[in-house]
Amino acid sequence: MEASFWHEKWKRGEINFHQSEANPLLTAHFEKLNLAKGSRVFLPLCGKTRDIAWLLANGYRVAGAELSGQAIDELFKELGLTPNISKVGNLTRYSADDIDIWVGDIFDVSAEYLGPINAIYDRAALVALPADMRKQYASHLMQITDAAPQLLISYEYDQSKIDGPPFSVNEDEVRRHYGAAYQLTSVEIRDVVGGLKGKVASTETVWLLQKASR
């Protein structure tokens, strides 16, 4: 999947994946990560999600990675923040109080650039990537965050009926990518009301990923 795919979606305003409010699955289950206030949460492929505003309002710090500069310009405008903008390697960093977003290819984000992360919230990253990229993504995510605990949201549906993204990622695949590093717990499975994109029956699963005991 080329970067141009996402740039064109933002340019044309084709962002049906963007929600106007914080994701209710985040607000219902975030406390299961047992984070202290001030903890730093990483949102990969974050777009301009309202989940960031919710996390900031609830006393957490946010780090993110996003391909689209337009999305992040809109994010800071909607947050009412004026970012400091700087170049970091191949990336552009947008920073303000309690928030740092790296714009560019997530595979260019390093642990050194990112700094300490207490948890990951993956609402739309793993499921946004085609199958041949998901293994690489999961490995990279664990590497740059030292396998920080995760709240992960996935979809499961008949992939032959519609194209992703979001792509169907079943339990076996989640365990294949993350089972060696984490203990995985499914904390909620629900039907997608009206079907995914209004076209196909789908379930949505919230996973809690906690570091496996050594």
Proportion of the chain in helix, strand, coil states, percent, rounded to 5: 35, 30, 40
Instruction: Taking each helix axis as running N to C, give the angle between helix 171-178 and helix 131-145, from 0 to 180 degrees, rounded to the nearest 10.
Output: 40
The angle that helices 69-79 and 3-12 make with each other, rounded to 10 degrees, is 50
Rounded Cα gap, residues 79 and 47, in angstroms: 13
Please tell me whether 25 is known to bind a ligand.
no
Amino acid at 75: L
- Residue 67 known to bind ligand: no
8 labeled part of a ligand binding site = no
Token pair, residue 113, equals 């650039």
Q: Is 207 within any annotated ligand binding site?
A: no
Residues tagged in the binding site annotation? 10, 45, 66, 123
Residues tagged in the binding site annotation for S-adenosyl-L-methionine? 10, 45, 66, 123
